């Protein structure tokens, strides 16, 4: 009789016990982390820090469009399309016209570099530090 009671108790626990934990929530993708408005805190041109306006920003939209306000990059289009490339380590702008390297992306901090060739001299490296 005890064995039957234990068997029924075990069966009841198995059937009506704690619910499964469900599927674990996957970490956000690089694209998900990029989407939103980023304030451009710092700008370096060829490793030289530059003073910039605190209102400068870069916005990545879910529909793979972007807008940017940063007069110091006068050659750079203020809006257009973007897509992640190279195993999500680069951001291609306007169908490859420009490419940012993603140096780091942690929570709400992003660091990007861009090499710009103006055909008059050596490429210029721009480094941007951004905060969401």
CB 92 within 8 Å of CB 80: no
pLDDT computed for residue 69 by the predictor: 92
In angstroms, the CA 122 to CA 109 distance is: 29
pLDDT greater at residue 122 or residue 2 = 122
- Mind listing the pLDDT tens digit for each residue in 12-38? 655 666 666 677 888 899 999 999 999
Residue whose structure tokens are 């060829």 = 46
- Mind listing the pLDDT tens digit for each residue in 66-92? 999 988 888 889 999 999 999 999 999
Count CA atoms within 13 Å of residue 101 on its CB side: 8
Instruction: Identify how many contiguous H helices and E strands the chain contains and give both numbers.
Output: 2, 9
CB 94 within 8 Å of CB 80: yes
3-state secondary structure of 44: strand
> Which long-range contacts link 19-28 to residues 24+ away (Cβ below 8 Å)?
none
Average model confidence (pLDDT) across the chain: 87
- Mind listing the pLDDT tens digit for each residue in 37-50? 999 999 999 999 99
Cα angle, residue 88 at apex, residues 128 and 80 outer, rounded to 5°: 60
What average pLDDT does the segment 49-78 reach? 92
Whether residue 7 has pLDDT greater than 80: no
pTM of the complete model: 0.77
In angstroms, the CA 66 to CA 81 distance is: 6
In angstroms, the CA 22 to CA 58 distance is: 37
Q: Does the structural domain 28-131 have CATH classification 2.40.128.20? A: yes
Domain boundaries, the chain: 28-131
H/E element holding 60?
strand 57-60
């Amino acid at each position: 009789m005890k064995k039957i009671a234990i068997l029924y108790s075990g069966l009841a626990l198995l059937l009506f016990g704690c619910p499964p934990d469900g599927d674990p929530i996957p970490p956000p993708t690089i694209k998900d982390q990029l989407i939103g408005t980023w304030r451009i805190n710092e700008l370096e041109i060829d490793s030289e820090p530059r003073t910039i306006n605190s209102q400068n920003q870069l916005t990545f939209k879910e529909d793979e469009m972007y807008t940017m306000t940063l007069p110091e990059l006068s050659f750079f289009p203020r809006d257009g399309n973007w897509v992640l490339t190279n195993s999500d380590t680069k951001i291609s702008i306007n169908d490859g016209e420009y490419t940012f390297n993603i140096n780091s992306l942690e929570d709400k901090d992003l660091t990007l570099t861009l090499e710009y060739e103006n055909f008059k001299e050596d490429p210029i490296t721009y480094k941007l530090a951004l905060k969401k």
